Amino acid sequence: MRLLLALALLAAGSATAETSRTDNRPDIVLIVSDDGGYADFGFNGCKDFQTPALDRLASQGIVFRNAYVCASVCSPSRAGLLTGRHPSRIGHEFNPPQGRGGSAGLPLQEKTLADYLQQAGYTTAAFGKWHLGTSTGMTPNDRGFDHFYGFLGGSHDYLPAADRRPHQQAMTRNGHDEPLGEYMTDAIASEAAAYIGSQPINKPLFLYVAFNCPHSPMQAKPGMEDRFPGLRDQQRRTLAAMQASLDEGVARIAAAQQKRGRLDNTILWFINDNGAGTYWNFDNGGLRNRKGSLFDGGIKVASFVRWPQGIRRPGAWQPPVSSLDIAATVLAAAGIPPASLHGTQDGMSLLPFWREGTEPRQPRTLYWRQGRIGAIRRGDTKLLLIDGEPALLFDLKTDPNEKTDILAQHKDTAAALASDFARWNRLNRETAWAPASQAGVRQYSPSSPWDAWTRRASRETTAAHDGE
C-alpha cells in the first residue's frame, strides 16, 4: 500500500511538473497595417515623419527590402496571409461584397494559421480587421481563434462619435456586438496588450493584430495632428498622426510581450497588406501605381521580422519574399510538419536561412492573378499580362519603378515567363466574384478556350496600362 501511495504521489508530482513546464516554442505576433505607402514608415525611408517604435523593432531584426503580398487589395491579401495558399487557388481575387450574412469570404474548407496553431497547443487571438467573411462559420471564432475583438468588414470609423456614420457596423467581441469606446487604433492595441497580459508564460501564443490604419476614412485621433506642425500638407499631417497612433499601438503590444517575459522568443512580423491607398497623399517610394494594381506599387510593401532567439544575422534582406512565406515559416517554427497541412502551401519557410545567417541563392518565382490580369516575377525580371492589352516586361534591378518596357528586346524571356504563368494558372480556380466597384471587370475561367497570357507575351508594346 505504501508503495502504491508513493507511486501515486510521484505520478502526481510528475504531472504537475509537466503542466507547469514552459513551452519553448516561440510566440507569434503577426501585425498588419492597412493601405500604408511603401515609404510611409521610418524603417523604409519615410522623410517627413517618423515611426520610432516600428523603426526600433525593425533595427533589431530583418527588414525585407523586396517584400511582396499575394494580392493588391485587402481581403485576398489576408486570405493568402492566413492560409499560406495563393488566393487564386480558391478564386478569392477581389474584396467580397460587403454586408453581414453573405456567403462570400474565405471558403470553409480552407485552414488558417490559427487552426493549425490552435491544434498544436497555441492560444490564439485576433484583433482588428477581419474582412474574410461574415456569415456563420466564417468569422474568426470559427476559424481557429480562441478570442476575437474587432470588426468583420473592410473598413470602419476610427472615432467613437455616435453621429459620424450611423450605419457603421458594430465592433464584435467573440460574436457579440458592442460600440467602439475609443479611437480605433488605440482600441485594437489596448485589447491586444491586455490579452497578452492575461496569458500565462507556459503556453505559446499566436496573436493576429490587423490594424485598419491608415485605411480610409482618414481620421486622426483628436490632438495628434498638433505633433506635426512642420507638415504643411494637410493630408500628410493627418496621415502622420494616424501612423503615430499605429506606432504607439505596436509599442504597447511589444511592451506587453516584454512584461510577459516572452519578447525575445517572439516572432514579431510586421507587414502592410497591399500598396498605398489611392485616396490620400501616401508615399509609395516611387513605385509605379498603387493599391489595386499588379505593378509593384500595388504589391510591394513595407515589412520586417524580429526574433532575437531565432535570427542569427539581423539586417537588410534583399531577395524577394512573399507574404505566403509567413505561414510556412511560423508553422515550421512551431514544429508543425508540412505533411499535416491542408492543400498545397505556396510559401517558403525562411527558418533555415535565419538559423544559418544566409539568404536564398536561387532566383525565386512569384505569381499573381487578378481577374484577367496576371504577373510573374523570376529573379529581377517581371512580366505583366493584361487581357486585351500588350504585355509588359521589366528589369526590376535597373528599373525598380517599372518605367521602361523591355519586351521588344527580350521576347524569348517574356514567352518563357508567360508559359510558366499559364502552367501555374491552370491550377487555379475560376474567379469567385468581381468587385462591386468594378462591375466591368472580366473574370478568369479555366474553361476559356484561349490562352490570353501566352498571346500577350508575343506582342509589341507602345504604352503602359495604369488602370487600377
List, for residues 358-372, the tens digit of each pLDDT value.
999 889 999 999 988
Q: What is the pLDDT of residue 160?
A: 87
Kindly report the length of the chain. Answer: 468
207 vs 19, higher pLDDT: 207
For 88, 89, 110, 322, 422, the CA distances from 427, given in Å and listed in that order, are: 9, 7, 16, 19, 9
Q: What angle do CA 349, 298, 189 make, to 5 degrees?
A: 70
Nearest to 102 by CA among 433, 369, 370, 442: 433
Q: What is the pLDDT of residue 340?
A: 87
Percent of the chain's residues with pLDDT above 70: 85
Q: What is the pLDDT of residue 165?
A: 59
Query: For domain 365-457, which architecture applies?
Result: 2-Layer Sandwich (3.30)
255 vs 360, higher pLDDT: 255
Nearest to 153 by CA among 135, 176, 134: 134
Q: Which residues pair with 30 in a beta bridge?
A: 208, 269
- In the chain, the amino acid numbered 430 is E
For 1, 42, 267, 318, the CA distances from 354, given in Å and listed in that order, are: 55, 24, 12, 14
Distance CA 399, CA 173 (A): 47
Distance CA 289, CA 232 (A): 25
Q: What is the pLDDT of residue 161?
A: 67
Average pLDDT of the chain to the nearest whole number? 87
Q: What is the pLDDT of residue 218?
A: 94
Q: 346-377 burial by CB neighbour count: b if 16+ within 10 A, else e?
A: bbbbbbebbeeeeeeeeebebbbbbbbbbbbb
pLDDT tens digits, 257-291: 999 999 999 999 999 999 998 778 999 999 999 99
- In the chain, the amino acid numbered 327 is A
- Concatenated DSSP letters for 4-68? HHHHHHHHHHHHHHHHHSPP-SPEEEEEEESS--TTSSGGGT-SSS--HHHHHHHHTSEEETTEE
Check pLDDT > 50 for residue 434.
Answer: yes
Residues 367, 33, 256, 190: is their CA dihedral positive or negative? Answer: negative
Q: What is the pLDDT of residue 308?
A: 97
Check pLDDT > 60 for residue 8.
Answer: no
- For cell 460574436, the residue is 175
Dihedral, 240, 245, 246, 252 alpha carbons, nearest 10? 150
Q: What is the pLDDT of residue 7?
A: 39
- For cell 529581377, the residue is 380
Asked whether 455 and 411 are in contact (CB, 8 A), the reply is no
Give residue 102's pLDDT band: very low, low, confident or very high (50, 70, 90).
Answer: low
Distance CA 247, CA 260 (A): 20
Give residue 150's pLDDT band: very low, low, confident or very high (50, 70, 90).
Answer: very high
Q: What is the pLDDT of residue 246?
A: 98
439 vs 303, higher pLDDT: 303
Contacting residues for 145 by C-beta, under 8 A, at least 6 apart: 114, 118, 124, 125, 126, 208
pLDDT tens digits, 385-417: 987 788 999 999 999 999 999 999 999 999 999
Contacting residues for 18 by C-beta, under 8 A, at least 6 apart: none
Q: What is the pLDDT of residue 343?
A: 80
- Least confident segment among 251-255, 336-340, 379-383: 336-340
Q: What is the pLDDT of residue 213?
A: 97
Q: What is the pLDDT of residue 98?
A: 65
pLDDT tens digits, 126-135: 999 999 999 8
Query: For domain 24-356, which architecture applies?
Result: 3-Layer(aba) Sandwich (3.40)
Q: What is the pLDDT of residue 432?
A: 85
Q: What is the pLDDT of residue 468?
A: 28
- Residues labelled catalytic: 74, 131
Distance CA 2, CA 332 (A): 46
- In the chain, the amino acid numbered 158 is Y
What's the rounded mean pLDDT across residues 156-168? 72
Check pLDDT > 90 for residue 190.
Answer: yes
Domain boundaries, the chain: 24-356, 365-457
pLDDT tens digits, 314-356: 999 999 999 999 999 999 999 999 888 888 899 999 999 999 9
